[in-house]
A and B are shown apart, each in its own frame.
Chain A
């Protein structure tokens, strides 16, 4: 692109940015002592944003016209690496908490194992669960978090009201979520594409509203407190004599529980993964993918599409239920704030950014999105640059939203878009993402 044209377009973009900046940036609203809104003028912000956009646009134009953009078409992760990465990363994940513990000690490693390890793995598991529904079966589910909530509250209520143990509640939570999935799915899975999306969204909002308002049942906004913590198959992680540490002759440390939680979610996520991989090679899994490719053709081959969708929906819900009960046992308390539409949107974004249907892609996207926002929490050094009133965590969600837009534009089909065939005759060849359909349900 000729420089002059780039300059002209950049100037135009800057002008638009100046327009956008007025008045939302240039006039701040503040409450004064008498609780009256007064305006604060900051016209320099307009100039700054216009200049930033202008320069940014110019750089994008110049860089995009360089031949480098063809690289983006190539697979992000090379096929050889794709084959190796899963087993290597599983191994690395099993070693991760121990390495961290030895390296940083029980205090220093806590953040890494908990905020990064456990947090990311929860989203990996949720992403894999939703991947069955969205990535494989091609059904758009905007209320996935509802099933996560069902799982969490199942454990929270059964354990606090009836004293059931986590190990009993875990399967129950999965079953409960799956039955809710089937109950919602049965009437609505006949609906076409976008209607299904809004119905699932509505369902998510209903669940959240019920949890918020039905105080007798869920204790409303306050949530359920003091949910029993996880035990090592019966041995509590406490300093007591029959606790985990004492039984194994270790010195008591709080990190033990965190490490156990890490392994627990890792195993749960891996179960999700293995079940999904196996199902893909079974008739029902192939029918899911066929459904995503062409529902009418499926029906012409004698496939009961409603049942097929229902299994995908219920199974996806089940894994969310497992994850939900894990969430409850990890936090020790639950309230409706953890199950908002934002969560559903984040999980869906992970699936789509990962590349629909790709297990590895979903895991990578979870690392990028969740890990990325965790990293943003750490940017406290920016306070030293911009002054102490500057709060970097304010920008966390702003950047999160922006990243979703940018990543979609960068790779509309996700990080890993090619599809691995479920069966082959002579040679396993991945199917290019351009041929894979995305479903209309």
Chain B
């Protein structure tokens, strides 16, 4: 079965994926930080039993794992694939994970909050994802009463999530826009609408790959539809402005753009050693070339899937042993050579 990141979405260029995250707490227990180990174990097991019906109802294939049964490497690989965040990947308490085989849907039990649902899809699918999350949430709420207050809405361990408990986000590819002088003031403008934009893999010039995460700042006093709508609007606006800059570059210097795309493909296809930084720079240029129709393949070319795959934990997982820095660069180049499809029509 294909994972969500192996699929490509051609409908919304420069929007790589979108995600809905919802956190909820069960009235029967204090928040996760205050649970004893015994309580936490009991709660995770009760939640998991209750969720079995949800999984059946959904008709997807799900796997249940306790994070403590996973090796450190596997946890880090889950973090690289955006299933766990940094806190969860290193958390030592009993944490349950229900993960659909395509990795589009994940439920973390006893993370920062009792239940953390995540729905993810390639392209801009926030409206659809919210509908899916809303249905799942209703179903789960039918089994487990939620901590809820008339004033503050859904109660969460961190007050930054209180209210809707909803974080909507979209990852956009902005290589041309982000290299412009006005980029930081543009981001400032976006944050005035209540959206935050930050680098997926770092800040400023260090954000190799030029991928940016747009997400809502507020969770209280705005409806779920307003949140999803705001993030979608800002992400689409950034993606469109990016395209305008690129179209200008294409019409003024097409040869230059083609040269950059083909050179990047060439390096990635034939290099024997690649650092993460170099690989991300060339993959980002290739992503631009694919999106602008310069690089053509017979089938899809999921560049983002390769970006996820070249991270440290995944490469070590494939090699089934720890790798030194030099070995990692060799493994990375090998991974990319194997994953990159052949160009068509040259």
Asked if A and B bind, the verdict is: no
